[in-house]
């Protein structure tokens, strides 16, 4: 707006409001009332504000820069920084406001002021980034200090449980047999006389029963004396060929001593097929014992079991003497007949060993009763 239209504008406004006593305002009028003087100074100011000096804008920009830098340097949080960014660099910030005044500059001054404004904007941005990095570093440093680990400090010790040696031996034995192609089978601990004795070719009054005398339940059932009973149950339900390994708990009315307990564990193995021989059994036993014990002295001697013919027992060295750990043999034809297998077609071998005795040999434990004392100092060794 040029000066003349501006004055005209003021004159109109005076007439409308009555301010200035109805006299027209002309700069060179000879006599001015008091109120006219007030108006004149207003106008002079108004005119002055229209002709902004470039140095004034430069000063304003410098002031903005200084103020922003101080505020940024004093900021202590990321939130404060963000607020300052909006305040100084946002659309409604002071720089666009100053630039708004550029219209009143001589055109030749404008590029310089524009460049300065950009420079100051960039300076504030740099300062902002710098302060951001400083705060982030400080934050990280504080976090690192708070999370410092003293690697020399003794740890909090949590005692770990472990598998009982009897269970770990059972697991190892099953693994070996599964590796030889056997399947794990299980059966009940409470048995009938038929599965525990009769089907295994024990005659009703045979003295072999005495060696395995056990606990009879009121209904005539018994607690099984060996895992051999599961051989019968499995063969009744499955056709040959058979390769099974049977872990389980057994019971006998034995006098407890260093090598006997009334409740103990056995693992049974059974293989039935066409053409299996005693040599196959020896080879299987050799592989199994080598995998479990490595090279150890072992003794095989003839024995008797009603359910195998011929039968043998296997002894290992323990406490300077031979300890019987296993009974085995070729499955008696009567047992095959009892489960409906044709003994003319099928042969097989079977064996059963005591897990407690294996543990005694493997760990050279002097008394198998230690396995049941629940003494952690003892059990923690295995």
- Contacts with ligand DAH, residue ranges (CB under 6 A): 226, 228, 268, 305, 307-308, 327-329, 350-352
The residue among 19 and 323 lying less far from ligand DAH, judged by its C-beta, is 323
Q: In this structure, are residues 102 and 115 in contact, taking their beta carbons and an 8 Å threshold?
A: no
Give the angle 78-82-87 at the CA atoms, nearest 5°: 145
In the complex, minimum distance from the CB of residue 227 to ligand DAH, in angstroms, rounded to a whole number: 7
The residue among 120 and 272 lying less far from ligand DAH, judged by its C-beta, is 272
Q: In this structure, are residues 332 and 308 in contact, taking their beta carbons and an 8 Å threshold?
A: yes
In the complex, minimum distance from the CB of residue 357 to ligand DAH, in angstroms, rounded to a whole number: 11
Q: Which residue number places its CB atom closest to ligand DAH?
A: 327
The residue among 120 and 361 lying less far from ligand DAH, judged by its C-beta, is 361
The residue among 131 and 308 lying less far from ligand DAH, judged by its C-beta, is 308
In the complex, minimum distance from the CB of residue 161 to ligand DAH, in angstroms, rounded to a whole number: 31
Q: In 10 A of CB 224, how many CB atoms?
A: 27
Using CA atoms, how far apart are residues 165 and 84, in angstroms rounded to an integer?
69
In the complex, minimum distance from the CB of residue 379 to ligand DAH, in angstroms, rounded to a whole number: 26
Cis status, amide bond into 31, omega within 30 of 0: no
The residue among 105 and 314 lying less far from ligand DAH, judged by its C-beta, is 314
The residue among 331 and 371 lying less far from ligand DAH, judged by its C-beta, is 331
In the complex, minimum distance from the CB of residue 226 to ligand DAH, in angstroms, rounded to a whole number: 3
In the complex, minimum distance from the CB of residue 351 to ligand DAH, in angstroms, rounded to a whole number: 5
| Nearest to 73, CA basis, from 134, 11, 114 | 134
In the complex, minimum distance from the CB of residue 266 to ligand DAH, in angstroms, rounded to a whole number: 6
| Nearest to 43, CA basis, from 26, 55, 29 | 26
In the complex, minimum distance from the CB of residue 165 to ligand DAH, in angstroms, rounded to a whole number: 21
Using CA atoms, how far apart are residues 247 and 356, in angstroms rounded to an integer?
12
Using CA atoms, how far apart are residues 321 and 339, in angstroms rounded to an integer?
39
Using CA atoms, how far apart are residues 160 and 166, in angstroms rounded to an integer?
18
In the complex, minimum distance from the CB of residue 328 to ligand DAH, in angstroms, rounded to a whole number: 5
The residue among 214 and 308 lying less far from ligand DAH, judged by its C-beta, is 308
The residue among 20 and 348 lying less far from ligand DAH, judged by its C-beta, is 348
The residue among 14 and 228 lying less far from ligand DAH, judged by its C-beta, is 228
Q: In this structure, are residues 310 and 329 in contact, taking their beta carbons and an 8 Å threshold?
A: yes
């Amino acid at each position: 707006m040029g000066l003349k239209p501006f004055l005209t504008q003021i004159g109109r406004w005076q007439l409308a409001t009555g301010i200035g006593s109805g006299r027209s305002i002309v700069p060179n009028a000879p006599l001015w009332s008091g109120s006219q003087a007030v108006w004149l100074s207003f106008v002079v100011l108004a005119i002055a504000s229209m002709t902004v000096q470039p140095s004034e804008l430069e000063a304003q920009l410098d002031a903005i820069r200084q103020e922003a830098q101080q505020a940024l340097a004093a900021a202590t949080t990321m939130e404060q920084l963000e607020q300052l960014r909006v305040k100084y660099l946002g659309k409604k910030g002071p720089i666009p406001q100053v630039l708004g005044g550029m219209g009143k500059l001589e055109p030749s001054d404008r590029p310089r002021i524009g460049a300065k404004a950009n420079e100051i904007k960039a300076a504030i941005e740099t300062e902002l980034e710098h302060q951001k990095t400083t705060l982030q570093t400080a934050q990280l440093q504080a976090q690192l200090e708070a999370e410092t680990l003293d690697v020399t400090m003794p740890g909090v010790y949590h005692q770990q449980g472990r598998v009982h040696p009897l269970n770990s031996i059972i697991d190892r034995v099953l693994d070996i047999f599964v590796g030889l192609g056997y399947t794990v089978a299980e059966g009940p601990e409470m048995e009938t006389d038929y599965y525990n004795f009769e089907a295994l070719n024990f005659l009703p009054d045979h003295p072999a029963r005495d060696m395995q005398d056990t606990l009879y339940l009121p209904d005539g059932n018994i607690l099984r004396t060996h895992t051999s009973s599961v051989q019968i149950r499995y063969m009744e339900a499955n056709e040959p060929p058979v390769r099974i390994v049977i872990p389980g708990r057994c019971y006998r009315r034995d006098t407890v001593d260093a090598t006997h307990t009334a409740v103990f564990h056995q693992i049974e193995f059974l293989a039935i097929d066409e053409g299996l021989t005693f040599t196959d059994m020896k080879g299987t036993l050799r592989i199994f014992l080598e995998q479990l014990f490595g090279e150890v002295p072992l003794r095989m001697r003839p024995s008797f079991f009603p359910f195998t013919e011929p039968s043998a027992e296997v002894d290992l060295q323990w406490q300077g003497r031979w300890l019987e750990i296993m009974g085995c043999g070729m499955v008696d034809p009567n047992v095959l007949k009892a489960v409906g297998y044709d003994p003319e077609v099928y042969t097989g071998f079977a064996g059963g060993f005591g897990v407690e005795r294996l543990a005694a040999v493997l760990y050279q434990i002097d008394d198998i009763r230690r396995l049941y004392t629940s003494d952690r100092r003892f059990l923690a060794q295995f």
